[in-house]
Structure 1
């Protein structure tokens, strides 16, 4: 036998079956056929008996199936309790019976469902092949004379059967097999041909089709149910066939008398090879060893992987082979049974490991379909084997295949020791692709790239599409440490780490202008964070652009910038921001100076020149005070920022105070350090405008303090005016002995502040020089005091007599005018007193008459309804009469409806006078405030206050 292309292994455990004494005889010479099914073994004998044997090889049941003839063929229908037996004696037609093993007839034994005599053109030829379809609707019988008979019918219910010879030839039939699918195909094997015939479905009724003009011997055809192919054993090879023709073949030179499919194996029984005339031993009269010994070989082939799983020389010839209970059994002619059980996969792998056949082990594992993690263990072992042999590249390929369940440190340590940096990079990259890389792995990989200075590899690694395969922070940190700032910025931008991008641009790349542009493209919250973090740095290097950003953000008009793509990109320099902008996960992405938002102090902010730009995003505008510290070293930019913010409407009061106060301070501070008088005046004018007008948000104390610190006197004066501190302004002039300034203040504020005239009178009388400077203003002040009743004449004399400055002649006219006015008022008051006395006497007389004299009522009409009075009538002393029915009530407390409102008013006045009788403090206060003391006294007497 030529077995040079097949590797042989011992993958099968062979053990003899110990037959029970009572069952040993059934496997003797009387045994004529065997079939398996339903976890049982069925034995047919030459005298027509059927024995049913269990897995323990005990006969559990026996019955006579045929009265005459030997049972040459049997078939147990899968998934049912049906058994088909065929018996023949060459004197009569063969008889086929169908048995129901799960039912018994009255006399005992299974019930025969149907019996059919199989027709053959020439009866003297025996049956050589037998096959059934799965549902037992058709049975094919092949004869040694070359004919094939198809029997169709309902064999289970015995409703009749039809037979037809479907094939005839001069060669004997050596095998029949059926294959079911869309159509049912019958494979016919003769000694010289392989044919197919459709017996059910589309194509039924067509003649047989020849697959190949080479046949096979009896017993050399079988069906491989798992593969769905027909196996044919010939002396040179094992061939496969399907409905369309021959498939792959497997060279195995040896005579073959039997073929069977067992799991993944093909079981072959090979008799001794006949001697050849060309055998070199022939000329010496000696044959080959197989011929001399005359042994038969039993072999199990794995045709897919090209190895022999088991091979042995049979001591006794094979009689039957059968498969059941997941094992293969071989029955020899001397009645012995041998069990062939496949070793476990792990046992087979260990055998292959011992012989370093790792590729075959891998193929075997893949064919078996074991878990991928178990396959990876084989790859790892194979990699270790190759590594020990020094084949580092191939070993790495195996380690990569086993990467899912291999400890990375084991492989990394090996390649670090051998300085195989390229293999190490390959393994580390694969770790990242599988998502198994740790921070240390990323660090090591980036270090390898840096060591090789392989920028292209680094770029391809960090720019790989799909999900992130490494620790982002570690990769960015390593790129920054290695000086690969653009790569670090790319990673941070792509994965939304905008804060880190700004850090890289400012701290590493020192690209401040690009950092500002990048910040202007972020969401408001992220923009604010970075702006506050790097405000001083950016203002130091890009003051204008940074100030614009501050203005846009703090006025609520910030939005990410938009730009148009340059028309000629090849002629314009690119920047990091231009490269990164395409990765920004924002609505607005691009760069260009032409689209920078222009901020004007007198116009609303605009952050885009595109008229169709979307509205700014909503965000919480921060308190302006948070930005003040950022402008410490940039006063001019700070002033520009403040000027923009103070123009915004709807400012909160707190923010408004901060803005105006700070801007006022900045104006004064700038003016203080200006040497040129004109420039200083300009800044002071700006400061003055801030505190002019009404509702200035700057507090008085702050303005006064800042004005004093900056020696800005106009500010102090202006604030005192706005706050109504006119007395302070006037007194500031008088304390400075500035008479002209005091006079100007008196003329300006006197009408609104009469108290100034009193202070002016005291000031004029303080010294002769001041009195001389005042001139005629003393008379004007006295006139104002007299007209406004600010001081009584006595108080004026007292004020002027404190200093011997003003003579009596200067106030003569003032005194004479007051004396004349007082005399007129005394005369008028006396007339009023006389009038009040006369009126009081008249009222008293009326009261006395009402109390002592009768009253005659002559009224004829009711004062309420206007009708003529009739009884009952009610008369009041006020001379008003009413129908009793026109009054709401009539009792002792009844009042005249006409006079009741007036009486109520008088009583209320009287009650008030009584209640205020003890209010002497109020009287004194009114007396002090009024210039006409007698009028106050008469008024209080009229109220009745002074009667007590």
Structure 2
């Protein structure tokens, strides 16, 4: 409690403070003090002594050093409060007390006597109340040590004699003494440590005991006279004095740690060793030699105090931790330094620095395995490059492997460390450790991409594939399978199990290679992907079929096609579970077939199969939606490609497919591009169909004329002539182009001329001009035709002249009638009403048109003749319309463009708009 008591062979007790000021009180007046015990938690002092030397009865007293009574003014005296006095006596004889112990709560106190008896005192020892004394042990050997161990539900008393070590449960209902060891120790060589273990010192070693028996021991082979516990882990060991029979030499004296080397004893010299043993780290922390004997050891104020027999007191101070460590470093005692750092709660960085020093020391000694063990313990604190550089230089790949592996296990490795570790495995050819590192069930503690890359470079493809598949690095897996291992079938099976969008991405990269080696299977996968059926469970797997013949000219197939496609939504909505226990819906956005078309550059036959499948499954429906202009353009590109593929072959089946494609009303192909393809491939049926589809009948006849196919020309003019009259002059010119053609087509020529005549399709002059472009057609050939046309023209001319004359007479008659109306009186002689047919009587109304009516028959409408009003209004409306249209030039030009005979339009326009023009002129 901040003080320490020293006692002498008297009844006085001296209390000494830090400044070594001593104050005294009389504990046993006329007697002597034999034992002192200071409680740790309370400032209570227990003394054992004798009241008088004659009786020799031990007396136990408890003093409260905090409750001091007033003195007579002397600073050297104190009077503490005496709490309790207990006389110790067993039987009729008295025996000296060898050891004493008391609980901190002062509920129990044990007294050990020199005759082998242990007396247990129970009760509240801090108050003057009755207490019970009980002999709990009687033996033949003196008691050399006692110690209490307080547990949760019991209190154990250790009893030590010269021959035995025992335990006694003071809390038990029927307590008994249990022998823990049949070897004891000398007086003063038993002490309790902070862990409430009994520490026993014998000549050969130091032993620790708990209630179950003997525990660990520390070998320290030297005689021991006393043990004192210091702090939490130090044991102060005093050895008996060593006596020499002569004076010490000068050298020996100079080597003494303590005491006066100048002191000379006439007969003997005593040397006493004091050792401080570190029980936690198991080493001697201090060894000191003192001249003479040691009267006592006590520990106070964080120091060990040694009281010698010559009345001197020596203080032993513990060095600070950094100084201790420096000493241990110099002695290369790194294990002790590490333990010391742990005890002093050093941080991880500081402890790692000690491990580094230890590793450096062992590295310099050439103990690379031991050095690596230390460096591994610095992981997380020491820069890994420091260790790696050392072991790379020393070519200690095996040790470096261990370090890098530990670095990965703690999750502190980067990509460079992963690369280096895998390179170490491969150089050592340590497949088992490589397997252990890669094929682990623990969390990933390395850079995956780096690991796969290194395994590939080193040729460990199985390990690289394992990693890629386990962590679903699909691109890397397929890279290895296809480019390194050449396992195309396995790669294709793997792609089938991917999600559609992932399969799409990887097929864009690998489909060309897969098509070269597995064209049938790869085409099937592409078809499934682009039609929305990828992932469906099939009832029956198709066996691989033989590849189609390679066409060397197919590289030009797709040279002019754009291949960037968009995606369309699939109507599918099913669930699929792949081999990785991941479910996904088959309702996915269908990838564009167009972006896979370049992969078929060396496999045009399979491209045909691919495009046909896509067409049949998703575009063959007449009502298939086209969602955007881009999608429409994409489909056109695919149709054109499929058409080109058909036309690349000359067999009838392919040509039939091409024509069926052109005829398919669902297919929205590019007509111009299709026409170019048909022309390049000389596909006559396709050319004729496209010309016919676009109404280019003239081109059809030109095509057959260039081919010299008179029969097809004749067939064409019969079929298309009624639709396009311009074909006839062209045909007439062709028929008369050569004697051979004329010979084949003479009858057809006559038929055409007859048809032209009957339908009045061409003017005769145009027919004659068409036939006269060559010298093949003769007069005799067209004599009948010309004669008939001239006769017909004459008759038509005569009819027109007669019609003109009749119109002239009518016009003249009308003009005369108008003049008469203007200049002469009109006589009305009608006798009947033109409306009711009754006899005309007054009042009556007469019109200039010579119609007469009763006034009552006309009613209010007496301004116009009822019979002529409709005709008059019609003429008025026509004239009004003509006047309104006089400025509508757009109508005139529209009609001029629409009608085939423009001159007739102009003539008709002038004939019907004469009055309107006349009005405009006016």
TM-score exceeds 0.5: yes
Alpha-carbon distance change, 561 to 409 in structure 1, aligned in 2, over 3 angstroms: farther
1:15-164 matches, within 5 Å, as: 37=1, 39-41=2-4, 51=15, 53-54=17-18, 56-58=19-21, 77-79=39-41, 82-86=43-47, 89-90=50-51, 94=59, 96-97=61-62, 99=64, 101=66, 115-121=83-89, 128-141=98-111, 146=117, 148-153=119-124, 155=126, 161-164=129-132
1:538-557 matches, within 5 Å, as: 538-557=514-533
1:619-768 matches, within 5 Å, as: 620-647=589-616, 648-649=618-619, 650=624, 652-671=631-650, 679=651, 681-694=652-665, 696-726=667-697, 728-729=699-700, 741=712, 744-745=715-716, 747-749=718-720, 753=723, 756-757=724-725, 760=728
> What TM-score do the two structures reach when normalised by structure 1?
0.65
Report how far residue 658 of structure 1 moved. Answer: 0.8
Matched position secondary structure for 2:198: strand
Report how far residue 115 of structure 1 moved. Answer: 2.6
Alpha-carbon distance change, 69 to 318 in structure 1, aligned in 2, over 3 angstroms: same
**Matched-pair contact (CA < 8 Å) for 2:84–2:125:** no
Alpha-carbon distance change, 654 to 311 in structure 1, aligned in 2, over 3 angstroms: same
1:841-856 matches, within 5 Å, as: none
Q: CA separation in 1, counterparts of 2:58 and 2:436? A: 81
Structure 2 counterpart of 1:260: 229
**Matched-pair contact (CA < 8 Å) for 2:32–2:51:** no
Matched position secondary structure for 2:317: strand
Q: CA separation in 1, counterparts of 2:436 and 2:199? A: 53
Report how far residue 499 of structure 1 moved. Answer: 2.8
Report how far residue 269 of structure 1 moved. Answer: 2.5
Report how far residue 636 of structure 1 moved. Answer: 1.4
Q: CA separation in 1, counterparts of 2:912 and 2:754? A: 35
Picking from 168, 181, 192, the partner of 2:151 is 181
Report how far residue 659 of structure 1 moved. Answer: 0.7
**Matched-pair contact (CA < 8 Å) for 2:372–2:399:** yes
Q: CA separation in 1, counterparts of 2:684 and 2:345? A: 98
Report how far residue 551 of structure 1 moved. Answer: 2.4
Alpha-carbon distance change, 308 to 694 in structure 1, aligned in 2, over 3 angstroms: closer
Q: CA separation in 1, counterparts of 2:274 and 2:906? A: 154
Structure 2 counterpart of 1:198: 169
> What TM-score do the two structures reach when normalised by structure 2?
0.67
Q: CA separation in 1, counterparts of 2:6 and 2:577? A: 97
Picking from 795, 809, 819, the partner of 2:788 is 809
**Matched-pair contact (CA < 8 Å) for 2:45–2:63:** yes
**Matched-pair contact (CA < 8 Å) for 2:99–2:111:** yes
**Matched-pair contact (CA < 8 Å) for 1:913–1:943:** no
Q: CA separation in 1, counterparts of 2:478 and 2:507? A: 10
Picking from 300, 304, 308, the partner of 1:328 is 304
**Matched-pair contact (CA < 8 Å) for 2:714–2:748:** no
Is it true that 1:220 corresponds to 2:165 in the alignment?
no
Report how far residue 547 of structure 1 moved. Answer: 2.4
**Matched-pair contact (CA < 8 Å) for 2:166–2:178:** yes
Q: CA separation in 2, counterparts of 1:51 and 1:846? A: 171
1:415-814 matches, within 5 Å, as: 459=435, 462-463=438-439, 466-467=442-443, 475-559=451-535, 617=586, 620-647=589-616, 648-649=618-619, 650=624, 652-671=631-650, 679=651, 681-694=652-665, 696-726=667-697, 728-729=699-700, 741=712, 744-745=715-716, 747-749=718-720, 753=723, 756-757=724-725, 760=728, 773-775=748-750, 778=753, 780-781=755-756, 784=759, 806-807=785-786, 809-810=788-789
Q: CA separation in 2, counterparts of 1:360 and 1:419? A: 30
Q: CA separation in 2, counterparts of 1:345 and 1:396? A: 26
**Matched-pair contact (CA < 8 Å) for 2:242–2:272:** no
Q: CA separation in 2, counterparts of 1:922 and 1:380? A: 103
Q: CA separation in 1, counterparts of 2:339 and 2:595? A: 71
Q: CA separation in 2, counterparts of 1:654 and 1:385? A: 77
Q: C-alpha deviations, 1:920-940, integer Å up to 9, x for none?
A: 547757987699999999998
Report how far residue 470 of structure 1 moved. Answer: 5.6
Matched position secondary structure for 1:298: strand
Q: C-alpha deviations, 1:495-530, integer Å up to 9, x for none?
A: 444333333344444444444444444444554444
Is it true that 1:337 corresponds to 2:320 in the alignment?
no
Report how far residue 687 of structure 1 moved. Answer: 1.3
Q: CA separation in 1, counterparts of 2:895 and 2:97? A: 155
Q: C-alpha deviations, 1:316-349, integer Å up to 9, x for none?
A: 5434422233322223355533222233555555
Alpha-carbon distance change, 77 to 436 in structure 1, aligned in 2, over 3 angstroms: same
**Matched-pair contact (CA < 8 Å) for 2:108–2:120:** no
Q: CA separation in 2, counterparts of 1:926 and 1:444? A: 86
Query: Unmatched 5+ residue regions in structure 2?
Result: 246-264, 549-569, 737-741, 773-778, 816-820, 822-833, 836-843, 848-854, 862-873
Q: CA separation in 2, counterparts of 1:536 and 1:52? A: 99
Matched position secondary structure for 1:748: helix
**Matched-pair contact (CA < 8 Å) for 2:28–2:50:** no
Matched position secondary structure for 1:711: coil
Structure 1 counterpart of 2:213: 245
Q: CA separation in 1, counterparts of 2:40 and 2:918? A: 136
Matched position secondary structure for 1:691: helix
**Matched-pair contact (CA < 8 Å) for 2:732–2:767:** no
Report how far residue 713 of structure 1 moved. Answer: 2.3
Q: CA separation in 2, counterparts of 1:914 and 1:537? A: 78
Alpha-carbon distance change, 726 to 154 in structure 1, aligned in 2, over 3 angstroms: farther
Q: CA separation in 1, counterparts of 2:125 and 2:796? A: 154
Matched position secondary structure for 1:665: helix
Q: CA separation in 2, counterparts of 1:58 and 1:913? A: 146
Alpha-carbon distance change, 596 to 470 in structure 1, aligned in 2, over 3 angstroms: farther
Report how far residue 308 of structure 1 moved. Answer: 3.2
Structure 1 counterpart of 2:253: none
Report how far residue 48 of structure 1 moved. Answer: 6.0
Alpha-carbon distance change, 637 to 89 in structure 1, aligned in 2, over 3 angstroms: same
Q: C-alpha deviations, 1:395-448, integer Å up to 9, x for none?
A: 666666667767777776776777666566556655655666676666666666
Report how far residue 623 of structure 1 moved. Answer: 3.2
**Matched-pair contact (CA < 8 Å) for 1:97–1:112:** no
Structure 1 counterpart of 2:275: 299
**Matched-pair contact (CA < 8 Å) for 1:765–1:800:** no
Alpha-carbon distance change, 331 to 542 in structure 1, aligned in 2, over 3 angstroms: same
Report how far residue 721 of structure 1 moved. Answer: 1.8
Matched position secondary structure for 2:476: helix
Alpha-carbon distance change, 934 to 688 in structure 1, aligned in 2, over 3 angstroms: closer
Report how far residue 722 of structure 1 moved. Answer: 1.7
Report how far residue 239 of structure 1 moved. Answer: 3.5
Matched position secondary structure for 2:689: helix
Report 1 or 2 for greater relative contact order, CA contacts < 8 Å, sequence distance ≥ 6.
1
Structure 1 counterpart of 2:197: 229
Q: CA separation in 1, counterparts of 2:519 and 2:121? A: 102
Select between 143-152 and 924-933 the one with higher mean Cα deviation: 924-933
